[in-house]
Amino acid sequence: MSKLFSSKYFANLSLFDPVEGITIKEPYGKENGYWVGAPYVFYDEILGKFFLYYRIRKPKPIRGGEVRIAQSVDGEKFEDILVIKKEQLNSESIERASFLRCMDGIYRMYISYVDPQTRKWRIDMMEADHPKNFDVSTRKKVFVAEDLDIEGIKDPYVFLVGRKYYMLVSYAEPLKNPSEETKRKLHESGDVYTTGLTTHPTGLATSLDAKNWKWEGKILDVSKNGWDKYQARINSVIYVPPVFFGFYDGSSSEKENYEERCGLCMSYDLKSFESITPNEPVLESPYNTHSVRYVDFLEKEDEIWY
């Protein structure tokens, strides 16, 4: 938890120490490939509860086999209320999702997973009257790669500004005139992000009803030669007037695909973000691969809870 403070700096944002904090959930194992993460968290004022989406991962070939929604009265101790397994989607893996109470009172969840037909990442939507009631059998398509002429789309981060919804996504850029062999290699593993064949910037989609989404295109590109030249995935946005700060996951090659580190970017209009950490990550763990990724936050009174 990081306290806000005032100073002569405009739009000042206090960060956090990755070593400090309270463990919310533990992975099933300690070896490489065991994770619990990819969180999306918000506080529901009507229900008076905190809600948390998170993913449980095991090493290949299981990958992202299970995701859960949990609720809490204090933002620290969470009780699981929904479990979704990849078998329910007939998918090889599930990644990050977002869900929130929309302006019409309906909860909508946007989930990314590997399409069983194309083996490309896609995003679907579910609706429910309570977060515990999301049903994958009712899901509807939001974005598939073919509709956008890209090679995959995942990790939606959804929020509301005024009366307009914003969805930030990670996507795999298309290749120019790829050979048939390259096309095969892109998706033969079911994860284009691990191939090293294309880069992965952040894209934006917008909506006025949280159901029909307009693709706006790229808003944060990978760097040309930096530590984030392979992937630059915005995973959360915090507004410190007049600036929108974005935490993003960066990597220099496919070898760091599972172990990204955290960069910081900024925007005044949400249409274009500029990295303000071009030379090195803004946050790193002191352990092992130094990975810090999928940061999310809550603003509570005079504090930011990361």
Read off the pLDDT of residues 110-140 as tens digits, 9 standing for 90 and up: 999 999 999 999 999 999 999 999 999 999 9
Per-residue exposure over 141-176, b if at least 16 CB sit within 10 Å of its own CB, e if not: ebbbbeebebbbbbbbbbbeeeeebbbbbbbbbeee
pLDDT at 1: 55
| Residues 179-201: tens digit of each pLDDT | 999 999 999 999 999 999 999 99
Residues whose CB is less than 8 angstroms from the CB of residue 180 and which lie 6 or more positions away in sequence, other chains included: none
- Alpha carbons 68 and 237: distance in angstroms, whole number: 22
215 exposure class (CB count in 10 Å sphere: 0-12, 13-18, 19+): middle
pLDDT tens-digit readout, 149-184:
999 999 999 999 999 999 999 999 999 999 999 999
**C-alpha to C-alpha distance for 236 and 180, rounded to whole angstroms:** 36
Contact by Cβ (8 Å): 73, 66:
no
Mean pLDDT to the nearest integer, 66-72: 98
Whether 121 contacts 172, CB under 8 Å:
yes
Give the Cα separation of 165 and 125 in Å (integer): 14
**CA triplet 130, 164, 103: central angle to 5 degrees?**
30
234, 207 contact by CB (below 8 A)? no
Residue 220, pLDDT score: 98
Residues 6 or more apart whose Cβ sits within 8 Å of residue 47: none
The three-state secondary structure class of 2 is: strand
Q: What is the pLDDT of residue 12?
A: 86
Tokens of 65: 């086999």
